[in-house]
Every structure is written in structure tokens, then in C-alpha cells.
């Protein structure tokens, strides 16, 4: 169910695999997982910029790619930078308080954007494939 574009689950938490995983007891921990899902016109390659592949990316996306000089470098890596408006996230990254997880996938991807979203939102690969 969606409320103003935000996925919402109402029902028995024991029936939802992601909620089951989140409800399991854990040791005391000062870490929090925050997931930001941006639908629509978000350009991930201009948000988290692969500097180690910038030339290749520039050849493919010259008209829309950020100028390399404007990309915010991250402390401890020369392979990735951030969009220039993401100074707050850069500060957190440089302080070791946040990290980036890239290249997340699931077994046997079928390259369906819609099924991938279903898997992402539910935390389960047991989503039936659409039939045509």
C-alpha cells in the first residue's frame, strides 16, 4: 500500500519477511541503517559519481554528467565522489559516520525495474515473476 508515494505495510509483522528480520533481537549497537529510496528523475550517477570510470562515463553521458571538478571528493577513496550539493553527507562520510553501499543486487536478476522494486521494498526474492 502507498500513502502519498510512501510504501506502507499494514498487517501481521510475522507475515512480512523484512519486518520479521527487523524485529529480531540484536545486541546493543550504536549503528542505524537508513535507506533512501528516490523515485522519479534521480540520476544516481550524478549523485554518487564513479570517479574511477569518469572518462568512460563522460563519453557516454557528456551532455548530462557533472563536470569532474565540481564533484566532491571523499576522504579515503579516489574512486567515488558526491554531487556538489551533498556537503552534509560528505561531512558525515569523511567523519566515518556514514558509508555508501553500491552495486547491490539479488540472485538471478531478470532486469525488470518493477520486480526489482518489489524485491527492494519487501526484502524478499520470493516475488512471483509477471507472466505475459
Q: Average pLDDT for consecutive 10-residue bins of the chain (132 residues)?
A: 54 59 68 73 87 94 93 95 95 93 80 82 73 60
Indicate whether this model's pTM tops 0.75.
no
What integer pLDDT is reported at residue 109 of this predicted model?
Answer: 81
- In the chain, where the domains are located: 2-122
pLDDT of residue 44: 84
DSSP 129: P
Dist CA 49 CA 39 (whole Å) = 18
Enumerate long-range contacts of 98-105, CB under 8 Å, 24 or more apart: 100/48, 102/48
Contact 2, 8 (CB under 8 A): yes
List Cα–Cα distances, 25 to 16, 20, 113, 125, in angstroms: 16, 10, 33, 23
Amino acid at each position: 500500500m502507498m500513502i502519498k508515494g510512501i510504501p506502507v505495510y499494514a498487517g501481521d509483522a510475522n507475515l512480512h519477511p523484512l519486518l520479521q528480520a527487523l524485529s529480531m533481537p540484536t545486541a546493543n549497537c550504536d549503528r542505524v541503517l537508513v535507506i533512501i529510496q528516490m523515485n522519479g528523475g534521480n540520476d544516481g550517477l550524478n549523485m554518487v559519481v564513479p570517479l574511477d570510470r569518469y572518462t568512460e562515463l563522460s563519453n557516454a553521458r557528456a551532455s548530462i554528467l557533472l563536470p569532474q571538478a565540481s564533484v566532491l571528493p571523499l576522504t579515503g577513496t579516489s574512486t567515488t565522489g558526491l554531487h556538489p550539493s551533498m556537503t552534509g553527507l560528505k561531512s558525515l562520510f569523511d567523519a566515518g559516520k556514514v558509508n555508501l553501499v553500491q552495486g547491490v543486487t539479488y540472485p538471478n536478476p531478470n532486469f525488470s525495474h518493477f520486480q526489482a522494486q518489489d524485491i527492494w521494498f519487501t526484502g524478499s526474492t520470493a516475488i512471483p515473476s509477471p507472466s505475459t
